[in-house]
Structure 1
Amino acid sequence: MKVALVFCLLASPVLAEGPPAAGRVAFFGIHFIDLSTEGAINGVRADETARTGMAAALVAEDMVARGFVLVPLDPVAKRLETVSNPARCNGCDTAMAQELGADYALTGEVSKVSNLILSLQLNLREAETGKTLRAGTVDIRGNTDESWQRGFRYLLRNLIFRK
């Protein structure tokens, strides 16, 4: 059975003049938000936890393949433990990226509405100014490894690194 995958931009993507130049990136991983009734009743699912790690590895590998250097987050680890979601922390991502000597802060999210509807998001911001350079959101259909991989690859190829 093929996985039906539908990409739907929820808002206009934020695009700089050209793709961001390779540099040092503080990648704060992918944050999973379960808005589904299933999550409220059954709690955390092992497959979704694994999928979140897989998605973070996919994004990290793509960044490195494009010439970016991922900076270690160890120096800000204690502060990061106090942040529930680096994508929504009022600029703490760029403040920590600056402290780490990074050029960029990269955050990601997966919002699960149901097993059929999930929304994936990536946001690349300039560490020094906090300005969003590239960002985008896509909806996917299906809560599988394949649908998540396709969704994040789409975001990277068509929004974050679109020429």
Structure 2
Amino acid sequence: MAVLPLKLLDTSGEPTDQSAQHEARLARLTDEIAVDLTGTGLYSAAVLPAEHLRRNCPAGQAACLLQAARDRGAHLIFVGVVHKSSTLILQFWARLVDVRTGRDVLTRDLNFRGDTDEAWQRAEAFLVAQIRDAAAAPP
């Protein structure tokens, strides 16, 4: 599985610039997702480096991202976006996509409270458990 670097959509309108904290959280969350999904024993996940994607898929088009994952030998790609809609409310949209068909294999939309390291870590752990449980469930 290829894990795309997570993105942040911040529409909270907060006056304080939190871009450095958010960039650090996004990088940490991306790495933790790859490590923890691999730790389930169900996947072998690796982060697609942001620099590689900026160079080879500068427009971020889906076809290019899917090809980048296929080039790395992945069968699935993890796509995630964190949306900060207010000071305390965040959403985490996550998709596992089949790199051959471009179709969603699994989707999860989570809400979590708190723009802190701990809140983001709890959301990541919950998401990984959701993915693990869905993958292990009988069809």
* Correspondence for 1:16: none
Deviation (angstroms), 1:49: 1.7
SS state at 2:73 partner: coil
Assess if the C-alpha contact under 8 Å between 2:4 and 2:47 holds in 1: no
Distance (whole Å) between structure 2 residues aligned to residue 138 and residue 148 of structure 1? 11
CA–CA separation in structure 2 for the residues paired with 1:47 and 1:58: 16
Partner residue, 2:9: 33
Tell me, yes or no, if the aligned pair for 1:140 and 1:151 is still in contact at 8 Å: yes
Q: Residues 138 and 104 (structure 1 numbering): CA distance in 2 closer, same or farther, change over 3 Å?
A: same
With normalisation by structure 2, the TM-score equals: 0.80
Structure 2: tracts of 5 or more residues without a match: none
Give 1:1-150 correspondences, 5 Å limit.
25-38=1-14, 41-67=15-41, 68-71=43-46, 73=48, 76-77=52-53, 78-80=55-57, 82-83=58-59, 89-150=61-122
Determine which structure has greater relative contact order: mean sequence separation of CA pairs < 8 Å that are 6+ residues apart, divided by chain length. 1
> For each residue in 1:128-161, what CA deviation from the matched residue of structure 2 results, as whole angstroms up to 9, or x when unmatched?
1112111101111111111111112212212464
Quick check: 2:10–2:85 contact (8 Å CA) kept in 1? yes
The percent identity for this pair of structures is: 26
Superposition TM-score, scaled by structure 1 size = 0.70
Q: Which has the higher helix share?
A: 2
Q: Which moved more, 1:45-54 or 1:140-149?
A: 45-54
Instruction: Kindly state the Cα deviation for residue 96 of structure 1 after the two structures are TM-superposed.
Output: 2.1
What amino acid is aligned across from residue 70 of structure 1 in structure 2?
A
Which one of the candidate residues 130, 134, 152 is aligned to 2:124? 152
* Mapped partners of 2:16, 2:117: distance in 1: 20
Cα RMSD (Å): 2.3
1:73 and 1:142 map into 2 onto residues whose CA distance is 28
CA distance in 1, matches of 2:19, 2:94: 22
Code of the residue aligned with 1:142 in structure 2: it is G
Unaligned runs of 5+ in 1: 1-24
Amino acid at match of 1:57: D
